[in-house]
Chains A and B, each alone.
Chain A
Amino acid sequence: MKLPAKAPEPNSENTPFFDGARQGRLVLPRCGDCGFVIWFPRQICPECSSQDVSWFEASGKGSIYSCTVTRRIPGGWGKVTPFVLAYVELEEGPRVMTNIVDCDPEHVSIGDRVEAVFEEATNRDGESGPPLLRFRVREG
């Protein structure tokens, strides 16, 4: 079953990320001064405060750093239990909190290799918005 997907509201600091998301590409910011790959997307480096930030297409690949299967939760999420919440460590370094989708929650574990998927999302008026970054287990 599809997880709830409420559309994010992009701002001027993260436009390249959401433009990429609309095309199914994971576009991340990187610091031009110290090389740090920044998560969450923004126009300033949290490591060295540099504003020399450029955007590049990341591999979309990573592995599960940790995960937890949620079985009880109120509201709309309660209709899709059990579901997997995970920290995914991207090949480029950042650790992203996300959901693992298209999976059997009983068989998702730490270390599993995953890849980015972008899931359709709608805003409160029911209109389609920027898609959400989630991950699925990668074969092989």
Chain B
Amino acid sequence: MASHGIKDQVAIIGMGCTPFGEHWDKGADDMLIDAAHEAYASAGVKQDDIDAFWLGTMGSGVSGLTLSKPLQIDYKPVSRLENMCATGSEAFRNACYAVASGAYDVVMAIGVEKLKDSGYSGLTGSKPPSDGTDSSLTAPATFSLLAPAYAHKNGLDDETMKEVLTRIAWKNHKNGALNPRAQFRKEVAKETIAGSPLVAGPLGIFDCSGVSDGSAAAVIVRAEDAHRYTDKPLYVKALSFSSGPATGALDPSYDYTTFREVRASAEEAYKQAGIDDPRSQIAMAEVHDCFTPTELVLMEDLGFAEEGTAWKEALNGAFDLDGDLPVNPDGGLKSFGHPIGASGLRMLFECWLQLRGEAPPERQIESDKTLGLTHNLGGQPGACVSFVSVVGSELG
């Protein structure tokens, strides 16, 4: 009984990603068509060449029909998956396994979310009716609990902690300003971020990711077939997933300074990819910065910074676009936006551009390293699911 991974068995040969944002003129159908056709063109395939589809969406539809109807797919298999905010990554993971198994030659993973125009800004609840005992806990409130916990554990005063969080939002806005597909494409001054209206705890509006519409897609084949389609495939090195017991809120030993699920999925991914020092071996990472303290804590959970040092590294610019290990070079959830089902594939899209040297020149990372990492989280501190992928531009 063991997890084996599928290192170098499958490859991405084409990707597509719509602009993320408030698309008042587009429904989920329109965005799925845009992302799928951009991916077909990128891979040099036609829709008829795709043998099977994996669709990730949290709330923009149920069943494979959500995809097969707008794309007018001719009686091919379409699976619809949901795994909270890690939904897009889950579609990708399962599509990769289907190719690795030998069941299909060419598959598509695609994710979509339509959050605007629903009459409600943000995620609508999909839980069963309450028995009245649940608490008044919003997503920003639950993630805001990371901030005092991290500050206390590492001896930071409130002012320094706010400066760290502000620095992370500032960095991701700066990166997003270089990304024509991002929802927020402006640099924002640190004073503006720090002075923005508070939402929950120390988190202001600029500490929160964008609520947006969008879709992203990937075409995947066996690694040995990849060069029939492109000279620059992206090989899948690792795919890991961790779903926790969700006991954090009831567990006095859980202190809100870490995501145990992230540590488990990172360890597994590094084992699959053969990575022993992610900080020095990875060229760039896309991580789940749903709120600024999440990105801070992730730097330690993913092994990018020593325990207790991520705040210093963030302040010193280690994760900036021109830093030691660029994190969220496309602006992340913060600036690119967070259409739930699409986000995991959007992260892979940035790896696709960066590792192939096809990012816009103003944000292209110059590196001799060939690996990129994506990290996608669903849920909240103490009760979450976590996905990590490692992709690379070379075999071996």
Contacts and interface: CB of A to CB of B under 8 A. Distances in A.
Contact of A73 (B138, B144, B197, B249): B138
B132 A9 contact: yes
Nearest to A110: B148
B144 A68 contact: yes
A89 B152 CA distance: 17
Interface size, B (range): 20 to 34
Given A3-B136, A77-B136, A89-B252, A69 B131 contact: no
Contacts of A32: none
B72 interface: no
Interface string A123-140: 100000100100000000
Max chain A CB contacts within 10 Å: which of B122, B133, B198, B201?
B133
B138 A70 contact: yes
Contacts, number: 72
B141 interface: yes
A44 interface: no
B6 interface: no
B256 interface: yes
A7 B130 CA distance: 10
A56 interface: no
Contact of B141 (A3, A46, A70): A70
A39 B250 contact: yes
Interface residues of A, number: 33
Contact of A70 (B200, B251, B256): B200
Contact of B200 (A6, A72, A99): A72
A66 B148 contact: yes
A69 B200 contact: yes
Contacts of B131: 8-9
Interface in A92-140: 93-95, 97-99, 110, 121, 123, 129, 132
Given A69-B198, A69-B200, A72-B200, A40 B136 contact: no
Given A40-B250, A70-B200, A98 B135 contact: yes
B149 interface: yes
Interface string A3-32: 110111100000000000000000000000
Contacts of A87: 145
| Most chain B Cβ neighbours within 10 Å, of A40, A85, A110 | A85
Contacts of B251: 95
Contacts of A68: 141, 144-145, 200-201
B198 A71 contact: yes
Contacts of B149: 66
A93 to B, nearest CB: 7
Nearest to A10: B131
Name the residue in A9, A72, A87, A123 with the highest tally of chain B Cβ atoms < 10 Å from its Cβ.
A72
B122, B200, B251, most chain A CB atoms within 10 A = B200
Contacts of B252: 89, 93-95
B256 to A, nearest CB: 7
A83 B137 CA distance: 11
A71 to B, nearest CB: 5
Contacts of B156: none
B199 interface: yes
Given A68-B145, A69-B198, A71-B198, 14 more contacts: A6-B130, A8-B131, A40-B133, A46-B250, A70-B136, A70-B141, A70-B199, A71-B197, A72-B199, A72-B200, A87-B145, A94-B252, A95-B250, A97-B135
27 contacts: A3-B136, A8-B132, A8-B133, A46-B250, A66-B148, A66-B256, A68-B141, A68-B145, A68-B200, A68-B201, A69-B201, A70-B141, A71-B199, A72-B138, A72-B140, A72-B200, A73-B141, A74-B120, A85-B135, A85-B141, A87-B145, A94-B252, A95-B250, A97-B249, A98-B135, A110-B152, A123-B132
Interface of A: 3-4, 6-9, 39-40, 46, 66, 68-74, 77, 83, 85, 87, 89, 93-95, 97-99, 110, 121, 123, 129, 132
Interface of B: 120-122, 130-133, 135-138, 140-141, 144-145, 148-149, 152, 197-201, 249-252, 256
